[in-house]
Structure 1
C-alpha cells in the first residue's frame, strides 16, 4: 500500500526490509561458502525467516542472487522508449552504454569493487545462475524488439534482428570488461580501452542498422 504522499506505507516498507534482509543474508552466505554449497534452509535461518516466507519473496534459489539484475532486463527498452524526440535508437543506446562505463555501472562489466568482482565470478561459476543469465539476455532482446517496433515504427523481423545484435554487442563488451578486471586490471586503467571498444562496436552496428524504420 502507498501512502497519500506517494511514499510506501508501513506494511510495504516492512516487506522491503524483509526482502533486503533475506537477499543480504543469501549473498553473504553464497560468497563465503559458494552458491551450490548453501541450501535455502540455511539462508532462511540466517535471515531469521521461514522457508515459506523466503519463497514468498524469492520463488527460486537463483532469484536470491539475480533479482538484483532484474531491472536491467528491460533497460535497453527503457532507453529506447525514453529517448529525446528525433534521436535514433542506436545513438541513444550508445550514449547510455558510454555513461554506464563512466559511472562504473556493474552491468557494463567495468566495476572493480571487490564485492562486485566476487559476485560476478560466483554467477559465472554456478551453472544454474549462468543459465538464468541466458534467459535474462533473451528477455532483454524481446523487450528491446518491442520497444523498437512501438517507438521507431520498425518492422517486426527487423526489430528482432536488431535487438539480438544490440544486446549481443552489449553483452560481449560487458563480458570482456569483466574478464579484464577479473584478471587484475583496475577499472580506471581499463576505462579508455572499454570506451574505444564500445565506440568500435556501436560503429559496426551503425553500418548495418542505419535505419530502423521502413524505407518509403
Structure 2
C-alpha cells in the first residue's frame, strides 16, 4: 500500500505543478497567487504547501527531480568501475540525443515557453541556483575521496559546466536555431567541455 500512496502523492504533485505552470505561462509568475493555484487545482492552500513549500517550487518541479541526478550517475559509475567523468559525459550526451529539456536542447513550443518563463523570472532563477547548490553538495558526497574540499571543488566545476552548456543551448534555440541543427554543435561542445574537466580534475 505504501507504494500506491507514493504513486498517488507523485501524481498529485505533478497535477499541482502542471496547473501552476499553466497559470504562470498565461498570466506571468508574479501575477499568480498561491490561493489562485490552489483554487484552480481544487485543493486547499495547506494541502498545496504540504507538497510544495514555496511558489517557486511549483514551477521548478521538473528540475527538482534532476537535483540528485549527477550524484546518482557517479554512484552507479563507481559501482561499475567506470570513471565518474566518463559516466557524466555519457549521461549528458544521452540527454542531448533524446532532447532532454534539462540540456536546453529542445525546441518544442511548450518547452520553449517554460524556459522563457524560467529565465525571465528572477525569483525562479534564484530558486534554480539553490537547486544547483544542492546538486553540488550531493555530487561532492558521491565523488568522496580523502579531501572533502577537492571533492567540493570538482563538483562545483562539473555542475557549472553542465549549467553553461545548457544555457548555451537555450540561448541558441531561443534565437531561432532548431534543435536538430544545434545537436552536432551541442555534442561537440559537451565533449570538449568534459575533455577540459578530465585534464584538470583527478576523477
Q: Tell me the TM-score normalised to structure 1 length.
A: 0.88
| 1:30 counterpart = 2:13 | no
Partner residue in 2 for 1:204: 196
Query: What pairs with 1:76-91 in structure 2 (closer than 5 Å)?
Result: 76-83=70-77, 85-91=80-86
| 1:191 counterpart = 2:183 | yes
Segments of structure 1 that go 5 or more residues without pairing to the other structure are 3-7
Match of 1:115 among 110, 118, 139: 110
CA distance in 1 between counterparts of 2:82 and 2:152 reads 20
CA distance in 1 between counterparts of 2:85 and 2:27 reads 42
CA distance in 2 between counterparts of 1:50 and 1:34 reads 22
Q: Tell me the TM-score normalised to structure 2 length.
A: 0.94
Partner residue in 1 for 2:159: 167
Segments of structure 2 that go 5 or more residues without pairing to the other structure are none
Partner residue in 2 for 1:101: 96
1:39–1:189 Cα change, 3 Å = same
Asked whether the equivalents of residues 148 and 154 of structure 1 are also in contact (C-alpha less than 8 Å), the reply is no
Deviations 1:99-121 (A, max 9, x none): 11111111111111111111111
1:136–1:41 Cα change, 3 Å = same
Query: What pairs with 1:114-133 in structure 2 (closer than 5 Å)?
Result: 114-133=109-128
- Structure with larger Rg: 1
CA distance in 1 between counterparts of 2:64 and 2:140 reads 18
Post-superposition shift, 1:140? 1.1
